[in-house]
Amino acid sequence: MPTLYLIHGFDAAPSNHWFPWLQDQLATLGVDCHILALPNSSQPNLNAWLAKIEQSVAVHDEDVYFVGHSLGCITVLRHLEQINQAIGGVVLVAGFAEDVPLLPQLDEFTALPLNTAHLRQRIKQRCVIAADNDATIPFFLTESLSQQLDAQFLIVKNGGHFLLGEGFDTLPVVLEELRRMFERANAEISGKPSSVNPH
């Protein structure tokens, strides 16, 4: 069965937003979901966050998946740039890979361009999710991230930044995309055609 790691964003914690809901939903599917508590999230440091992920992820293989939210997305990708094994997939919610105008304190995470060729090769399934009215991360930055990764791009109407304060204690679009990824992976292993179109 898959193992999933959820990487939260700036000034967040594992108990925030839709993270506990997703963990509970995945448990019903038999998926082990770890929500990592990243250090000092109100003053994030890239190396400290990467060290936490490195310490927490036991193995990297095609049964491993990541979900990132906001700053967690670029953090996941920075981690995976250092990994030479293929993983099952990523779902990146309200992510970015370039400087965010309103959040210069996060520029350390985006100072270098992504190694997109490596990431596309190592991440078998890729999905990026954006809201059309995100006031924190401009839409065009998340759209650009999806293009860099050659990822499926899903747009949620009036999703904001997918925060609890905006009403998001659940986020079914993430769960459904993960279910599709798991189904495609299982179909590939069994040699049977999947009922959903791969990206």
What CA–CA distance (Å, rounded) separates 88 from 65? 5
Domain ranges of the chain: 3-190
What pLDDT was estimated at residue 192?
59
Which candidate in 17, 69, 134, 146 is catalytic? 134
Confidence check: pLDDT of 195 > 90: no
Per-residue confidence (pLDDT) for residue 199, from 0 to 100: 46
Residue 15 annotated in active site: no
Looking at residues 40-46, what average pLDDT do you find? Answer: 96
Q: Among 8, 17, 69, 70, which one carries the catalytic annotation?
A: 70
Is pLDDT of 27 > 80? yes
With a pLDDT cut of 70, the percent of the chain lying above it is 95
Whole-Å CA distances, 79 to 40, 57, 98, 129: 18, 10, 16, 20
DSSP letter for each residue of 85-112: S-EEEEEEES--SS--TT-GGGHHHHSS
**C-alpha torsion angle, residues 179, 172, 161, 159 (rounded to 10):** 120
Tell the burial category of 165 from Cβ atoms under 10 Å away from its Cβ (0-12, 13-18, 19+): exposed
Topology of domain 3-190, per CATH? Rossmann fold (3.40.50)
The pLDDT assigned to 198 comes to 45
DSSP E strands: which ranges in 94-173? 123-131, 152-156
Place 193 in a pLDDT band, splitting at 50, 70 and 90.
low
pLDDT over threshold 80, residue 81: yes
For residue 47, the Cα-to-chain-centroid distance in whole angstroms is 18
Instruction: Give me the pLDDT at residue 6, please.
Output: 98
Share of the chain above pLDDT 90, in %: 91
Give yes or no for residue 194 having a pLDDT over 50. no
From 8, 69, 79, 161, the catalytic residue: 161
134 flagged as catalytic: yes
Is 70 among the catalytic positions? yes
Q: Which residues pair with 123 in a beta bridge?
A: 87
What is the residue-averaged pLDDT of the chain? 94
pLDDT of residue 58: 87
